Structure 1
């Protein structure tokens, strides 16, 4: 199909809008901040209006705040200095004369914002927190990776609430004429002034209307061309996580040597990274394409919304973690401790899967699933459901129970011997060639569990679990 080109400029007595490519959280925040200053903007996205908010809608809504009122209420002593030390220990910037120059300065600016403004900024817009979570508890060293203290604040309402507090004022600004949305507009090129090199617009294709629900992969049939001009172009289009070919293409050797072949995907297909190359072609300096963050606790979603849809387990540190051959992962690669360290180790084994060995009590007490749709009690702001399932419950939340009963990655048996047999059956069913040895796994389980008979231990995971249990939100 084709149609006449859609070309748009503002009238001479009206300022050109800022063009924002991407209607996810970053795009919404940009439009909100511009509207607060009376600056018009046009928000452009290849998806329909149902997808406003992008990836953030599907998130658990964890917010990085430093020395917040919520932390202090729980007795957490956090500081700007400690948070920046943790950040730099995790980032391990080693290209400070090149690609890491601006990321280092951005890290400092973000930690300053997280300490000085973040909490008040979000609460002023109507956001509130349920508790403070302890993500990435570290590699076991004071100078290395991880958070020294709990500082990821769980939004009451999860990702949809984070989106709402910006979407609603932006929609009001749209009614007042300050913001214009251009849904189903796919940008193919950033227009640049030849004399100055300044970005002055975008061009691309309009797409057929598609009323697919949020997150569902949409049609890409074009209906025509468009050009839009503005005072500036702000690209807020997200990363490459929805395109496995791009992930594999940019996979860094330091996380190798083998690129995993089996992935589950935590973001919709529209997180395709198209705008990165388009922006680079317009003269932007694209850096650190090999810097990636992939979680290692993914499960196939038994009820997928987008291709290869995966859900991440948010484990507290009690589950026993084994590699594909049945060996326990080495210190300090424990659940919830060091994602990239664990990823590097898993890749070194030659296999792209691992095993959690756990029991019903641990599942009920410690297991949570990432994502707004997997936490309806918190997403729907139901204190009663939170209390019923997370405090009084003995089986875990309903979404956790659904994965426990229906998930293809779960093996549930009444004894360890039967469990190992079931694990071998699942490996064979999926084309694997590893047969786990029951006696070997039994020895690993008994050795580890024996370290929990006392309130003290020589086992690093037992120490980590003991520390975790001292945290009221654990």
Structure 2
């Protein structure tokens, strides 16, 4: 390929969407990625495949009444934009919600992407709390993360076969090349040695050569910072959630290191809002890690009792899966690094699940029927058998003793009181669905919930306690971009030739989510920023050629 129209840095979902749309328009694209070919598709491969889509036939079939205006209100009240640099993030948010309500489903179908008849309700809005989703709108793609990636991967490979795409792995960008006017005109960097490590594993950084490539446009699609724990700690929002935990788990591989956004910042780009990050309090250390300190988020359903590190129950307003930021703040309030779920065997059999496509094989296999749950799911049982965070006991005294052995912060009497309080509430008719304050839980009719029961009922045992730690996931900030994806300077001017998409752009504008995100908007943000930026580039390139 003698001449390129666009260089894309990164072969994750946002980079693939950008490239696929450009290939559809006959443009010539060079894709460079520091990782081996095994990582083709990036982090989206691991995902559940959830997409925030508005007012769909799938929703209407389930009796869910959604609208553009309702979705926009949910987004804005959750984001709570309040900074001067939120101008473009808010614009991107309005544009995304409109796309999700009007064009997204048909555009996905045009790529052959189908939606499963399953709609989740994470970040559900609760009575008296002005944030979250008013209705379920997190649609699951058939095939989950791999199923979402495959059409874009296929289009890029087709482009490669047609001579439109040059795909180079183990090419790490170290510098943005600029001409005398300051415009970005290419990239330079290091060629890394071949590495046959599996997806997600740490790879060699041995340099075996250098490269430089030129094009009128460079698109940064290199992801966020969640795998770089030093950078996460450096940007940690201490003023809002307290000090960073001593122990952090990585929800993404180590190569998601923020390196490229800092290189862009060094070239004059405005890097904003990295103190806004999406971390979960409900992390388990993986029993068979593919990268260092790998964590997995556990999803307990509504019936678990959530305790802080000492053993006190969290406030009624904090429910797993309903408010990730609120859960993080609540669990960090007393300075402990851990919190706990306590469940019975019945709840473990009925409600417990793990996030990610590798933990939900029926959806990856595009099987409509959810397998009947008989006993504790195999993925949960594997963590119980081989992980370090589960405690199982036949009685409350043994449970609290084992919890205290696992964490010095646990105060046994506080745990006992919390479990006894739970059982008294069940006897009084107060359940996970009715709530301690009587307001109810809107999620109850859309998820599998165990019948209310006392934890200390011998027929419900054994008791299970699950130690939780903070797990990194997504960056809600990034490079500031306008609605065409152009990267801006601190002063607000465009850097000619430089664009950003996906998490590197804070999913649009340097922070489309504000302080808190609605689930399904991360993959959705990769799709939308890639599509929107590619459309702008196609128009710009046509004008330049004219």
Structure 1 length-normalised TM: 0.90
Indicate the SS of the match to 1:296: strand
Indicate the SS of the match to 1:297: strand
Give 1:46's aligned residue: 34
Alignment map for 1:275-314 (pairs within 5 Å): 275-314=260-299
Indicate the SS of the match to 2:358: coil
Give 2:168's aligned residue: 182
- CA shift, 1:256, in A, is 3.2
Question: Retained in 2: the 8 A contact 1:317–1:461?
Answer: no
Query: Which deviates further from its counterpart, 329-338 or 54-63?
Result: 329-338
What does the per-residue CA deviation read over 1:400-450, in whole Å, with 9 as the maximum and x for residues that have no partner?
2212333211111122232222211221xxxx3433215423433224434
Alignment map for 1:377-392 (pairs within 5 Å): 377-383=362-368, 387-388=370-371, 392=372
Find the partner of 1:397 among 369, 374, 377: 377
Indicate the SS of the match to 2:281: coil
Indicate the SS of the match to 2:191: strand
Indicate the SS of the match to 1:204: strand
Indicate the SS of the match to 1:394: coil
Question: Retained in 2: the 8 A contact 1:361–1:394?
Answer: no
Structure with greater contact order relative to length (CA < 8 Å, sep ≥ 6): 2
Give 1:436's aligned residue: 412
Between Structure 1 and Structure 2, the one with more strand by share is 2
Query: Which deviates further from its counterpart, 127-136 or 46-55?
Result: 127-136
Answer yes or no: is 1:137 the counterpart of 2:124.
yes
Distance in 2, matches of 1:270 and 1:456, equals 41
Question: Retained in 1: the 8 A contact 2:254–2:292?
Answer: yes
Question: Retained in 1: the 8 A contact 2:310–2:409?
Answer: no
Cα-Cα RMSD: 2.0
Find the partner of 1:408 among 385, 388, 403: 388
Where does the alignment leave 5 or more consecutive residues of structure 2 unmatched?
Answer: 450-546
Question: Retained in 1: the 8 A contact 2:172–2:189?
Answer: yes
Give 1:421's aligned residue: 401
Alignment map for 1:116-155 (pairs within 5 Å): 116-130=102-116, 131-138=118-125, 140-141=127-128, 144-155=130-141
Distance in 1, matches of 2:274 and 2:56, equals 33
Distance in 1, matches of 2:423 and 2:375, equals 24
Indicate the SS of the match to 1:344: helix
Give 1:471's aligned residue: 446
CA 1:247–1:127 in structure 2 vs 1: closer, same or farther (change >3 Å)?
Answer: same
What does the per-residue CA deviation read over 1:243-265, in whole Å, with 9 as the maximum and x for residues that have no partner?
11100000012333221111111
Indicate the SS of the match to 1:373: helix
Distance in 2, matches of 1:317 and 1:162, equals 29
Question: Retained in 2: the 8 A contact 1:328–1:444?
Answer: no
Indicate the SS of the match to 2:327: helix
Query: Which deviates further from its counterpart, 398-407 or 242-251?
Result: 398-407
- CA shift, 1:364, in A, is 2.2
What does the per-residue CA deviation read over 1:173-212, in whole Å, with 9 as the maximum and x for residues that have no partner?
11001111110001011112221x2211001100001111
Alignment map for 1:442-453 (pairs within 5 Å): 442-450=419-427, 452=429
Distance in 1, matches of 2:245 and 2:428, equals 33
Distance in 2, matches of 1:94 and 1:455, equals 34
Give 2:72's aligned residue: 84
Give 1:172's aligned residue: 158
Question: Retained in 2: the 8 A contact 1:156–1:378?
Answer: yes
Answer yes or no: is 1:261 the counterpart of 2:246.
yes
Distance in 2, matches of 1:387 and 1:457, equals 26
CA 1:299–1:454 in structure 2 vs 1: closer, same or farther (change >3 Å)?
Answer: closer
Distance in 1, matches of 2:344 and 2:439, equals 16
- CA shift, 1:63, in A, is 0.8
Query: Which deviates further from its counterpart, 308-317 or 206-215?
Result: 308-317
CA 1:331–1:275 in structure 2 vs 1: closer, same or farther (change >3 Å)?
Answer: same
- CA shift, 1:53, in A, is 0.6
- CA shift, 1:462, in A, is 7.5
Query: Which deviates further from its counterpart, 200-209 or 249-258?
Result: 249-258
Distance in 2, matches of 1:172 and 1:67, equals 33
Distance in 1, matches of 2:232 and 2:438, equals 31
Find the partner of 1:343 among 328, 335, 354: 328
Give 1:101's aligned residue: 87
Distance in 1, matches of 2:438 and 2:398, equals 25
Find the partner of 1:273 among 258, 268, 280: 258
Give 2:61's aligned residue: 73
What does the per-residue CA deviation read over 1:86-105, in whole Å, with 9 as the maximum and x for residues that have no partner?
1111111001xx21001100
Question: Retained in 2: the 8 A contact 1:451–1:457?
Answer: no
Distance in 2, matches of 1:115 and 1:457, equals 32
What does the per-residue CA deviation read over 1:40-71, in whole Å, with 9 as the maximum and x for residues that have no partner?
11111000111011000011111110111111
CA 1:334–1:425 in structure 2 vs 1: closer, same or farther (change >3 Å)?
Answer: same
Q: How many residues align?
A: 447
- CA shift, 1:329, in A, is 0.5
Question: Retained in 1: the 8 A contact 2:320–2:327?
Answer: no
Query: Which deviates further from its counterpart, 312-321 or 211-220?
Result: 312-321
CA 1:59–1:303 in structure 2 vs 1: closer, same or farther (change >3 Å)?
Answer: same
Indicate the SS of the match to 2:296: strand
Answer yes or no: is 1:252 the counterpart of 2:237.
yes
Indicate the SS of the match to 1:177: coil
Question: Retained in 2: the 8 A contact 1:137–1:148?
Answer: yes
